[in-house]
Amino acid sequence: MAAAVKTENLTKTYKNIMKREPVNAVSNLNLEVNEGEIFGFLGPNGAGKTTTIKMLLGLVYPTSGNAWILDKPAGDIEVKQQISYLPETPYFYDYMSGSEVLQFYGRLFGMNETTIEKKSMELLKTVGLYQDRYKRLSDYSKGMLQRIGIAQALINDPKLLIFDEPTTGLDPIAHSEIRDLILRLRDEGKSIFLCSHQLSDVEMVCDRVAILNRGVMLKTGHLDDLLLAGHFEIQAEKLSADVLGKINGFATCVDSACDIVVIDVEDGDKVDQTVDLIRGCHGRILSINPKRRALEDLFVEIIREGNK
């Protein structure tokens, strides 16, 4: 599968003549986003996410390293026909109406007026702004601006979408609609590079993630691989005190506050050992599930470790 985004030792260093130390906004970043996947690009404020996006879009020149978008050098004018970008808190010309904004961006893609008109109406309906299409942007709410931002990002039917905080300022209903839209776009075969602080959204939609801090990539991989920590959670009942004591000896955690005992054991032999012990004492196994961590917990742990 071809890479939608690829970087090799991508580095951006800002030199400030007033300060002695140059600032490494991004250091030796190696990324690969596959076509057709939703890739979560995470990190705390100042981690270098926006600088990376700007380098991918050719807005900022890397100090060293390389970046490719859809197998062409980042910033290439031809590749920009096939990508789109929604910045965090998008700003548009507020004298325009929603419909005019889409016309303006459509023209920048060299689209003809008929296509722009057809596509605009379709997108305005998709993002729920059809009724407000002739309203000036100065009268739009923050959520409406975010939605027109999403619509402009879809005007060219892009192969790769770069979204920077796409759900900022949206109410819960719109939030959920945009999340569904992102999943629908992935199902249509588009690649999505998603930068977000909404970790619950990332957990729900992303296939893979990368966690960045202070310009350095700390972790990357499939979300399932990262969140399935190699632990299983076994729920059982009717366990004797003797068996409970034996399990306590090797389990990570045993919660036996009520009749149902929740046992946390590492993957592998310990699961079999626990099951054998429960069955041996005629206990009843209610469920065995791989234990999944919350992305937020993983994120906090990685960032804290990185800060040490």
Burial bucket for residue 13 (CB in 10 Å: 0-12, 13-18, 19+) = middle
Burial bucket for residue 164 (CB in 10 Å: 0-12, 13-18, 19+) = buried
Nearer to other proteins, 51 or 213 (CB): 51
Question: Which of the 8 DSSP states describes residue 89?
Answer: S
Cα dist from 102 to 82, 192, 207, 270, whole Å: 16, 21, 30, 59
Of 9, 64, 81, 115, the one binding other proteins by CB under 8 A: 81
CB of 61 to other proteins, least distance (A): 6
Nearer to other proteins, 96 or 271 (CB): 96
Of 4, 26, 47, 60, the one binding other proteins by CB under 8 A: 60
Question: For the window 146-185, what string marks contact with other proteins as x by the rule CB under 8 A?
Answer: ---x--x---x-----x-----------------------
Long-range contacts of 103-106 (CB under 8 A, 24+ apart): 105/152, 105/155, 106/155, 106/156
Cβ count within 10 A of residue 157: 12
**Does position 87 bind other proteins by CB under 8 A?**
yes
Which residues ranging from 98 to 117 are in contact with other proteins (CB under 8 A)? Answer: 104-105, 107-110
Nearer to other proteins, 158 or 283 (CB): 158
54 neighbors 242 (Cβ within 8 angstroms):
no
CB of 129 to other proteins, least distance (A): 17
Burial bucket for residue 193 (CB in 10 Å: 0-12, 13-18, 19+) = buried
Nearer to other proteins, 81 or 200 (CB): 81
CB of 291 to other proteins, least distance (A): 41
Residue indicated by tokens 């920077």:
164
As given in the structure block, the two tokens for residue 269 are 């032999």
Of 19, 45, 91, 134, the one binding other proteins by CB under 8 A: 91
Cα 240 to Cα 274: distance, rounded to the nearest angstrom: 13
Nearer to other proteins, 153 or 209 (CB): 153
Nearer to other proteins, 105 or 232 (CB): 105
**Does position 250 bind other proteins by CB under 8 A?**
no
Sheet containing 284-292, strands listed edge to edge, beginning at the edge strand earlier in sequence: 253-255, 261-266, 228-237, 284-292
Nearer to other proteins, 1 or 77 (CB): 77
Q: Which stretch binds other proteins (CB under 8 A): 53-61, 185-193, 226-234, 250-258?
A: 53-61
Cα 139 to Cα 159: distance, rounded to the nearest angstrom: 32
**Does position 54 bind other proteins by CB under 8 A?**
yes
**Does position 59 bind other proteins by CB under 8 A?**
yes
Residues near other proteins (CB under 8 A) are 54, 57-61, 77-78, 80-81, 83-85, 87, 89-93, 95-96, 104-105, 107-110, 149, 152, 156, 162
